[in-house]
Structure 1
Amino acid sequence: MERFSGYGVLGVPFSSGHYLAFRHFPASSIGPGYRALWLRRPNGEWTVYADAPPELSCARYFGEALAQAMTADVTITWDGPAAATIEVPGIVQWRLGLAATPATRMMGALARHLAPGMWREDRVLRSMGALAGPFLRIGKASFSGAVPNGQSFQAQPLRVWLVRTATATVDGADAGTPAPAGRARMERTTGHEHHRNHARACGEREDRRNLCGGQEGLGLCAQPHAGAGHEPGGV
């Protein structure tokens, strides 16, 4: 079983047709922690930029659905407890503003009061995903299932916030405003995750399915537990 702990932005769609997502896993059972930025361009092709090799980062699980898996500098700078800038030099600069809502607080309280053993039950995680999607208005949510490379996964997000504001520059051009995600589909890699089964080879693949989801211009930021790093702050 492979385990990761950290936080991420599950996804924000833009009016330009670009879609951005982010993962930061300071703790990994298979190697050093890493940051990864996921970029879907308007032609539907996904590229993941990670500061760890593909076999030790997101492409280990999602490589079958990517056009490219690139090793690059990925940074996140916290400009306060509720604002951050994520960058891949020369490719993406993405500014986010986070907010807590009654719905996100309620989901977080429910998650933190689950007995530890319940987090390992796929039926419980499926029920939580079915509730979280419509309750948070983020589209379809899956906290257990299978990823494109064939491994099964369980995600355990313990704290959540909505992405209230987002601006981005992609390949030197303004990505526009946050917009509905259309047919994009969620395949969770955020929260406290377990992956089972051996990974296939990663890299360029012909299968370029959508990987993330969201709607109404809102993404979701999730953190597994208060002890997994010191950011994001108290929003």
Structure 2
Amino acid sequence: MKSPRTLAAGAERLDRPASGPDEQFSGYAVTGLPFSSGHILALRRFPASSLGPGYTSVWLRNPAGTWAMYVTVDPALSCPRYFGSAVGSTWVQPISITWRGDHDLAVGIGGDVDLAWELRLGSTPATLIFSAMAGTLPEKLWRSPAFLRAAGSTGGRLLRSGRIALTGLAPNGQRFSVRPKRLWLVKESSARLRGQDLGRPGALPVQARLGGLLIPQRGFFMAGTAIFEPARGSVR
């Protein structure tokens, strides 16, 4: 299996998805990582977008439960297009992703945000099984909401991550589906936000969510595609 860094480099060369009725984004993501402080961090890097330029997004939830999204392009062309109604604030901000090794990366936001986030990725028997299954499933199954719900339920138990939502309803009202191709576990991570250490990664007392999107109780690095119905709601 290719390393996460090699796969990420390949994602940067992805072609723009073909035009169609759905809105598609391909690349990689850290699905969401909860910390002992009560914060949650998530990353989306989608070099290929059917709406326009590729983009990077960092999601941050504070211990009070309020979300902020930092994006590198117009919010109307990125994650707030679907999740903005559940987010307290959205900012257009430069975001850096630096690979320090095949399985090590750093995510940074400067200025007033002052976020420094380090991650080390690795495989487990469960992530290898999940990746092998995801890479061989036929297209018709990925188009079946019933299959995606069942796969999310089974995957959550296999990965010991709480419930996983491979399909659902985004806060702005669009239905989404996720098609993972490869998966790694975030084995180690640390983060500092405005000088504050966010603590060790660990499951929260209650699994967090944004509309129908459930945030796993463990961090995963996933390569794949996110598909949304055309946006109907407003973007904040």
> Does 1:52 find its partner at 2:85?
no
Find the counterpart in structure 2 of residue 93 from structure 1.
116
Query: 1:146, 1:152 within 8 Å by CA — same for their partners in 2?
Result: yes
Q: CA deviation at 1:94?
A: 0.3
Q: Given the alignment, which residue of 108, 129, 151 partners 2:152?
A: 129
Query: 1:152, 1:196 within 8 Å by CA — same for their partners in 2?
Result: yes
Equivalent residue letter for 2:76: E
Pairing 1:18-29 to 2, within 5 Å after superposition: 18-29=39-50
Structure 1 CA distance for aligned equivalents of residues 207 and 135 of structure 2: 29
> For structure 1, which runs of at least 5 residues remain unmatched after alignment?
204-235
Structure 2 CA distance for aligned equivalents of residues 29 and 173 of structure 1: 37
Q: C-alpha offsets along residues 112-148 of structure 1, whole Å, 9 cap, x if unaligned?
A: 1101221111111111101111110111101011100
Query: 1:167, 1:177 within 8 Å by CA — same for their partners in 2?
Result: yes
Equivalent residue letter for 1:19: I
Q: Given the alignment, which residue of 165, 175, 192 partners 2:225?
A: 192
Query: 1:143, 1:188 within 8 Å by CA — same for their partners in 2?
Result: no
Q: CA deviation at 1:164?
A: 0.4
Divergent runs of 4+, >3 A? 188-191
Task: Give the secondary-structure state (helix, strand or coil) at the position aligned to 2:137.
Answer: coil
Q: C-alpha offsets along residues 65-90 of structure 1, whole Å, 9 cap, x if unaligned?
A: 00001100111101111000001114
Give % identity. Answer: 40
Q: CA deviation at 1:184?
A: 3.1
> Does 1:72 find its partner at 2:105?
no
Task: Give the secondary-structure state (helix, strand or coil) at the position aligned to 1:105.
Answer: helix
Moved more, 147-156 or 10-19: 10-19
Pairing 1:83-232 to 2, within 5 Å after superposition: 83-90=104-111, 91=113, 92-186=115-209, 187=213, 191-203=224-236
What TM-score do you get using the length of structure 1 for normalisation?
0.83
> Does 1:61 find its partner at 2:94?
no
Q: CA deviation at 1:198?
A: 2.6
Structure 2 CA distance for aligned equivalents of residues 70 and 11 of structure 1: 19
Query: 2:208, 2:214 within 8 Å by CA — same for their partners in 1?
Result: no
Query: 2:81, 2:231 within 8 Å by CA — same for their partners in 1?
Result: no
Structure 1 CA distance for aligned equivalents of residues 168 and 24 of structure 2: 15
Structure 1 CA distance for aligned equivalents of residues 178 and 42 of structure 2: 16
Structure 2 CA distance for aligned equivalents of residues 180 and 96 of structure 1: 17
Q: C-alpha offsets along residues 195-223 of structure 1, whole Å, 9 cap, x if unaligned?
A: 113331212xxxxxxxxxxxxxxxxxxxx
- Where relative contact order (Cα < 8 A, 6+ residues apart) is larger, the structure is 1
> For structure 2, which runs of at least 5 residues remain unmatched after alignment?
1-21, 216-221
Structure 1 CA distance for aligned equivalents of residues 165 and 131 of structure 2: 16
Equivalent residue letter for 1:56: L
Instruction: Give the count of matched residue pairs.
Output: 203
What TM-score do you get using the length of structure 2 for normalisation?
0.83
> Does 1:38 find its partner at 2:71?
no
Equivalent residue letter for 1:198: A
Equivalent residue letter for 1:70: W
Task: Give the secondary-structure state (helix, strand or coil) at the position aligned to 1:157.
Answer: strand
